Structure formats: C-alpha cells, structure tokens
Amino acid sequence: MTAAFAAFSLMLPVNAAEPAKTAKPNILFIITDDQGYGDWSVNGHPLLKTPNADKLAAESVRLENFYVSASCSPTRAALLTGMHEFRSGVTHTQHPRVQLPHDTTTLPELLATAGYRTGFVGKWHLGSPPSGHGFEWCSTNMGGPFEHFDPNMVRNGKKTKETGYREDIYFSDAMNFITETKDQPWFMYLSTYSPHDPLKAPEEFVAPFRGKVTEEQAQYLGMVANLDYNIGRIMAFLKEKNLDENTIVVLISDNGQTYGLDVYNANMRGCKATVWEGGLRSFSYWRWTGHWPPHQVDNLSAHIDVLPTLCAVAGAKIPEALQPEIEGFNLLPVLESKDPIAWHDDRFLYHHVARWPGGMAADHKYAMAGVRQGNYLLVRSRPCDNPGCEEANGQQCDTLRSVEAGSKRANYTAENAQFHWGVTPPGRWALFEVKKDPGCLNDLAAAEPERAAAMGAAYDKWWDATYPVMVKRGGDAEIVWSKVQLDLINKKKAAKAAKAEQEKKADQQSQPNPTTKP
C-alpha cells in the first residue's frame, strides 16, 4: 500500500475500506442429504425445534415451490451444471452412472473465472473427485456416510484422523476455508451426509426424541437437530467475522423425505426415489441481507436455476457456446422483488426417478416420470412393463410392483406405502393440482383432458430430445454395484424368496387333501 493510498484509506468510512472484499458477495451454499421439506420447525414439524434454520428462513427469500431430483447424484449434477441430469448422463446413485463427465462446465469453474476462490466440503457423489471439476480447495472424509465419529479426513490430498462428529468437522472445515481466504470472494459448497443413512447422531441431539418415535426416527431427527446446531455455528461465525452482509447463504436439500416420512411430511405424498410432490420438493432459502428482502416466492423454481443465478450475482459470464445448454433461469428478479412477479410462469420441469437397470432406459420412459407446470403435476408412478427389470435389480420397479400387489410397507415407511409409493393407473398419466392437493388424492386427468394432453406431449418431446444425449453420456450403462449395495440386494432377494416359499407352503396346507373324503 502506498503512503498516499494509506492516508486516503484512513479518511474512508470503515465499510468502504476494503473495496475488493465488498465488490462481490461471498457465497455459502449448504446442501443437506435426504432431508424432507418439512424437517425444520418453521415448516410445521411437530417434534423438531430448529431455531437456527428457522431464523435463516425468516431472514431469507423462501422459494416455496422449489424442486430437485428424486435422488442424490442427479440433483448434484443438475445443480453444478444448470442442466437436467439426463444431459450429463447422471441417472443413478451407483457407478458408473454417477460420473459427471469431465468435459462438463461446472458452477465453480464459472465462478473461478469471475475471481472466486472455490471450496468444497463433504459429500460429492459425482464420481471422480471435486478437484477435477473446478473446486480448488477440497475436504471430505474417507469413510463417507459410514463414518459418523472420529472420521479420517482428507484435506487437499492430506490425510488426518480427527476427533468428533463428522458434520461438526465439516462445518469447522468450511469456516477454516473462509478464514484463510484473503482478498478474494469465495464460494463454499458445503454438502453434508446428514441426515442420509446410516443414521447416527451425538446422543445429546437424539435424546429429546427418544420414546416419542422409533429409534431409527430418533437418530434421523437427531441428525437434523445437529444440522440446525451447525447452521447456528456458521451464521454466528459469519457475523463475528463481519462477513454477514456480504455473504449470500443458500440452504437446500438434495431430494425428498426418507426416514422421517412416517413422522411428518408436510401433508405431501411421496418420498425419495418417487415422482410425487414429497419426493421432489425441497426447502430453498436464499439470504443476502440488505439486498434481497425476506419474503416468500411461489414461482416454480428448481435446482437447475442455481447456476445461472449465482453466475449472475457473481458477474461470471456463461460462455456463448454453453448458453443454449443451460436449462435453468436466473432467479434474481424474484429474489429482489418483494412483491409477486411473473417469472417464466409457463416453464415445464421434467422429473424422472431413472435408476433403471443398464440397457433398459427405453422401457422406463413412462415408469416413475413426471412433468410439472405451475401448480400442476402430471405423473406416472408405475413399474416398467419389462419383466427382465426385476431380475436385473430394477429395485424401484420392484418396490412399485409390491405396492401394486397391496404391500403397505416399502422403503422409509412401515404402513403408508400405498400412499407415499402410490401406483397410478396403467397406460395413462394422472394429473394433480399439488398446491390444493399435496396428497395427490384427486386425479384431474379426466376433468382436464386438454391440460393433461399438453403436458404429456411436452414430456414426449422432452424425452425424445433428451434420450439420445442421455444414452450417449452413459446414462443407460450397466451398474457396477458396490459390495455394500450388492449385499443389501441379495439379502432382500433372499427374504423375498423365503417369504414366497412360506406362502406357498401355507397355501398347500390350506388346500383340501384330494385323497380324503369330506
């Protein structure tokens, strides 16, 4: 600093003393894993008390009609590319269909062109490491979701054994990245494993739920309560560092409800890996104090809008060649306007659970698919019609087949499978007005045939255009199951075979013996 500049800076008010730091906002993007929309007390949860997330929501623009994909990797691919996950071939949560292609331009790469330092903490779930996809500072733990306490951390390639709860360490790492970033705006993508299974939280967070719900649910809610504690920690940290007002904070989840499904689902039908409202809707809080007035936004928005929005706010130019591929829209008009405004109100969002066995994408065109426009959801929640799917570990279709056969139990629910995994009639779409009818109980397909036909035609057009790109990108490749997953699949198959055998025996015993006279 020159003497003349030093003297000049002394005359400036404190806030203007560091123009480089205030010119562009920092961005703290927090994404939780498998947490339902209703899992904050602000959204009506009957057991959770989450004062920190509630405070963040109250200080934020709340996107109340914000949609993500039905499972982990697809949502993450869409977030980081601004395009539907099919366009990057990310159609599963298992290898190789989790791999984000290396020639994809990502959000951190774009932000870096605008002078941002980019940091990643936590769960990645997009194949080869985040350092190869634009993040210059990376921290995660070697044992992923299985390592809740005393994790083995890997920070920028260096391994260290830590003491404590994984999510507490993740948030501390994010704070360390922020502290050590000098003279540069920063982007921190903080991606938790909580409350994804396996479920385990520090006892102090679990204890309040014991005796009120099952042990599994208590651990799940404990993981959410711990997230709230950590949100409180990092918000206090930003304030203490005087970064509160030039930092944008965003909080979302990556898919719908899981282990808290039978506790509370905000009246919605559906969970993770379904195309119902509860499988796809996330809370979405966007806080930038002094710039975005806290208010509720009802316009239909989605994960694909994150990239164009954050690029716009950061002044990162999206290259002309890339622009036609970006399917999301810049949210700034709705973030900045306190009053309701028209904003891409005719847009369609296309949902697909995917997860089909390799080579069977075409068979699943109408299996677990949906189209959203305005408040309407056009949906086919059905197993595919290819009997080879079950043998090839088509787990989602398998679940829907058992629900169609009358099962009350399915993933995440002990008794409500008929509701949350509900199967729609064969051969046609069902239509629901989800804001009036979040439980999707009143099928309007017959009452509004024109709307159903128009939305169905939009879906066909989308599928036809996207299918070849998705296949070319590896979205229909054979799955290479991890040992953990394979063990689970085999266990489930063995249980199913044993049950069938038992039923067969019971049937035989109840049949009248033809050799004995009545």
Segment lying near Ca ion (by CB under 5 A), choices 66-74, 77-85, 216-224, 461-469? 66-74
- DSSP string covering 78-140, please? HHHHSS-GGGGT---SSTTTTPPPTTS--HHHHHHHTT-EEEEEE---SSS-GGGGT-SEEEE
CB of 31 to Ca ion, least distance (A): 9
Question: In a 3-state reduction of DSSP, which class is residue 459?
Answer: helix
Number of residues that bind Ca ion (CB under 5 A): 5
How many CA within 13 A on the CB side of residue 377? Answer: 34
CB-based contact 250:53 (threshold 8 Å): no
How buried is 322 (Cβ within 10 angstroms: 0-12 exposed, 13-18 middle, 19+ buried)?
middle
Is 255 a residue that touches Ca ion (CB under 5 A)?
A: yes
Residues 412 and 231: their CA atoms lie apart, in Å, by 26
Is 257 a residue that touches Ca ion (CB under 5 A)?
A: no
CB-based contact 312:330 (threshold 8 Å): yes
CB of 201 to Ca ion, least distance (A): 17
Segment lying near Ca ion (by CB under 5 A), choices 61-69, 235-243, 253-261, 447-455? 253-261
Q: Quote the DSSP letter at residue 342.
A: -
Is 77 a residue that touches Ca ion (CB under 5 A)?
A: no
CB-based contact 225:201 (threshold 8 Å): yes
Is 72 a residue that touches Ca ion (CB under 5 A)?
A: yes
Give the x/- contact pattern for Ca ion in 23-42, rule: CB under 5 A: ----------xx--------
User: Is 34 or 173 the residue whose CB approaches Ca ion more closely?
Assistant: 34
Is 173 a residue that touches Ca ion (CB under 5 A)?
A: no
Residues 135 and 297: their CA atoms lie apart, in Å, by 31
- Cβ within 8 Å of residue 518, ≥6 positions away: 512
Is 476 a residue that touches Ca ion (CB under 5 A)?
A: no
CB of 441 to Ca ion, least distance (A): 26
Nearest CA among 126, 118, 115, 124 for reference residue 142? 124
CB of 319 to Ca ion, least distance (A): 30
Is 85 a residue that touches Ca ion (CB under 5 A)?
A: no
Is 443 a residue that touches Ca ion (CB under 5 A)?
A: no
- Buried/exposed 391-407: b ≥16 CB within 10 Å, e otherwise: ebbbbbbbbbbbbbeee
User: Is 33 or 167 the residue whose CB approaches Ca ion more closely?
Assistant: 33
CB of 257 to Ca ion, least distance (A): 11
CB of 75 to Ca ion, least distance (A): 7
Kindly list the distances between the CA atom of residue 268 and the CA atoms of 38, 62, 275, 375, 440, in Å, as whole numbers in the listed order: 9, 18, 12, 14, 8
Torsion 299-304-308-311 (CA) sign: positive
User: Is 195 or 475 the residue whose CB approaches Ca ion more closely?
Assistant: 195
User: Is 272 or 372 the residue whose CB approaches Ca ion more closely?
Assistant: 272
CB of 423 to Ca ion, least distance (A): 23
CB of 129 to Ca ion, least distance (A): 19
- When binding is defined by CB under 5 A, the residue of 254, 305, 398, 476 that contacts Ca ion is 254
Report which residue's Cβ sits closest to Ca ion. Answer: 72
User: Is 95 or 347 the residue whose CB approaches Ca ion more closely?
Assistant: 95
* Binding stretches for Ca ion (CB under 5 A): 33-34, 72, 254-255
